[in-house]
């Protein structure tokens, strides 16, 4: 494989990737922050520019009704199967330039290279620029990959944004026939698989001084909305031993969740919302509400932690004389990713002189949807600034973007040799 390595090493993809990331970042809903939410004007402009870029790279391009921009780089022969690559182009509010988009831009520059050097592979490559993954405008997430994977639920059409606009209306106003969404589902028999490149969104690669990681699976998550009911009272006149303080009980529960989720490295627990409805500085909290998000690399680890945490909530409530209820609002299974593709991505990195980390993903990605359709894999790329993401401080080094591109190119060319054998 020395010829492939030399060919890949002779190209510097990093500057082009970084330039394209800056280029796409010019469109935003906010003048002082990068915000691109579903079907906003900025969203439509990014989609239109992706169409231009993909065509210039030698792809046949279409934008489907859900807003996915899909580029197809045709195989050397007809009736070939298709390898899917991609990620999403929407952002969170005040987000970064690389989350999602790096997984579009790296394949894009590689297809530019293949087209420029007149190389066709024994399989089609489709670059999927998913229209929506973040769940920012509508509280759903994965709209683009749901549709491709055949997982789109028509109940999603009733979801509303902050202005009370249902998804159904937003689509219809954009000229979309909502009845056509079911037809976007791809056929498994046509596909080889799906590979997604993404920034790590954490510090593991940075701390290990390694540019890339192979993702072993996507963590399963369970979320609850927890309500603690005690008794409000005057902050100055109710003695401590007589209080039924919902806030203090909630604080103890949060610490119990944190303690339980520190026991296993692949287990994490988060309280991202904490409210004292009608609270005042001089009133003992009579009610407290908080969120619970527990994730682990296996469903068993996640569910065992969840049961222990809920049990501790009940024990704390009894001890403090309050009531607690927990409503489950989300459950997502852990998703193992394709060992076949993991091995080949790992081998590609090793041929280029790096032993990649093997990491689970604690965050959800479009690969979570796509794995129900076709064998799927992910590669993480190191991000700087302590691994921060979903932030304007998000950064990827040009050298790391370049290395990730060379790994993916090596993977593609070796996969091509397998299919030609």
Q: Domain with 231 in it: what CATH number?
A: 3.30.70.360
Same domain, 212 and 237: no
Dihedral of the alpha carbons of 359, 365, 370, 375, in degrees to the nearest 10? -10
- 209 and 74 fall within a common domain: yes
Beta bridge partners of 308: none
State the residue for tokens 């915000």: 35
Q: What is the CATH number of the domain that holds 18?
A: 3.40.630.10
pLDDT tens per residue, range 54-106: 999 999 999 999 999 999 999 999 999 999 999 999 999 999 999 999 999 99
- Domain end marker among 332, 365, 397: 332
Distance of CA 99 to the CA centre of its chain: 8
Residues 33 and 143 in one domain: yes
Whether residues 161 and 68 fall in one domain: yes
Mean pLDDT of the chain: 94
Question: Where is the domain boundary, 274, 302, 332?
Answer: 332
pLDDT band at 1 (very low <50, low <70, confident <90, very high): very low
Give the end of a domain, one of 289, 315, 332: 332
Q: Are 228 and 249 in contact (CB under 8 A)?
A: yes
Domain match, 357 and 286 both: no
Do 263 and 400 fall into the same domain?
A: no
pLDDT of residue 330: 85
pLDDT greater than 80 at residue 10: no
Kindly tell me if the per-residue pLDDT of 158 is higher than 60: yes
pLDDT at position 11 is 59
- Residue 113 — very low, low, confident or very high, per pLDDT cuts 50/70/90? very high
* 231 and 202 fall within a common domain: no
Residue 237 pLDDT exceeds 70: yes
Please write the tens of the pLDDT for every residue from 247-287: 999 999 999 999 999 999 889 999 999 999 999 999 999 99
Distance CA 195, CA 348 (A): 14
* Percent with pLDDT over 70 in the chain: 97
Q: Specify whether 93 is located in the same domain as 70.
A: yes
Q: How far apart are CA 141 and CA 92, in angstroms?
A: 11
Task: Answer yes or no: pTM beyond 0.95.
Answer: no
Note down the domain range covering 349.
Answer: 2-218+335-420
Residues 186 and 301 in one domain: no
* 308 and 356 together in one domain: no
Q: pLDDT tens for residues 172-194?
A: 998 999 999 999 999 999 999 99
Tell me, yes or no, whether 196 and 263 share the same domain.
no
Token code pair at residue 92? 């969170």
| pLDDT (0 to 100) of residue 334 | 93
- Same structural domain, 49 and 139: yes
- Closest among 386, 385, 395, 332 to 362, alpha carbons compared: 332
The structural domain count of the chain equals 2
Three-class secondary structure of residue 43 per DSSP: helix
């Amino acid at each position: 494989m020395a010829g492939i390595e030399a060919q890949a090493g002779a190209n510097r993809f990093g500057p082009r990737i970084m330039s394209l990331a800056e280029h796409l970042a010019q469109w935003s809903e906010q003048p002082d922050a990068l915000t691109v939410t579903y079907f906003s004007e900025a969203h439509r402009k990014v989609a239109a520019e992706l169409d231009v870029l993909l065509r210039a790279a030698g792809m046949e391009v279409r934008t489907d009704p859900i807003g996915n921009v899909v580029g197809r780089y045709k195989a050397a022969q007809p009736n070939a199967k298709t390898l899917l690559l991609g990620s999403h182009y929407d952002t969170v509010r005040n987000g970064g330039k690389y989350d999602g988009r790096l997984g579009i831009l790296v394949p894009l520059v590689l297809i530019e290279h293949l087209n420029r050097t007149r190389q066709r592979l024994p399989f089609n490559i489709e670059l999927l620029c998913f229209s929506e993954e973040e769940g920012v405008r509508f509280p759903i997430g994965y709209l683009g990959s749901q549709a491709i994977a055949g997982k789109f639920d028509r109940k999603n059409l009733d979801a509303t944004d902050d202005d009370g606009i249902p998804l159904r209306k937003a689509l219809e106003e954009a000229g979309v026939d909502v009845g056509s969404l079911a037809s976007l589902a791809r056929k498994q028999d046509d596909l080889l698989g799906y590979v997604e490149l993404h920034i790590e969104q954490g510090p593991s690669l940075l701390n290990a001084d390694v540019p890339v990681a192979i993702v072993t699976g996507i963590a399963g998550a369970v979320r609850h909305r927890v309500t603690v009911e005690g008794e409000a009272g005057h902050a100055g006149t109710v003695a401590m031993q007589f209080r039924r303080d919902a806030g203090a009980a909630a604080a103890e529960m949060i610490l119990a969740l944190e303690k339980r989720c520190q026991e296993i490295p692949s287990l994490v627990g988060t309280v991202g919302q904490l409210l004292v409805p009608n609270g005042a500085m001089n009133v003992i909290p009579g009610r407290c509400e908080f969120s619970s998000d527990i994730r682990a690399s296996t469903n068993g680890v996640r569910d065992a932690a969840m049961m222990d945490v809920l049990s501790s909530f009940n024990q704390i409530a009894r001890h403090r004389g309050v009531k607690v209820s927990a409503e489950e609002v989300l459950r997502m299974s852990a998703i193992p990713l394709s060992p076949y593709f993991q091995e080949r991505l790992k081998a590609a990195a090793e041929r280029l002189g790096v032993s990649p980390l093997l990491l689970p993903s604690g965050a959800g990605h479009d690969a979570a949807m796509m794995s129900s359709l076709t064998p799927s894999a992910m590669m993480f790329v190191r991000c700087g600034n302590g691994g921060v993401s979903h932030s304007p401080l998000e950064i990827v080094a040009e050298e790391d973007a370049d290395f990730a591109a060379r790994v993916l190119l090596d993977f593609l060319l070796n996969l091509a040799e397998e299919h030609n054998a």
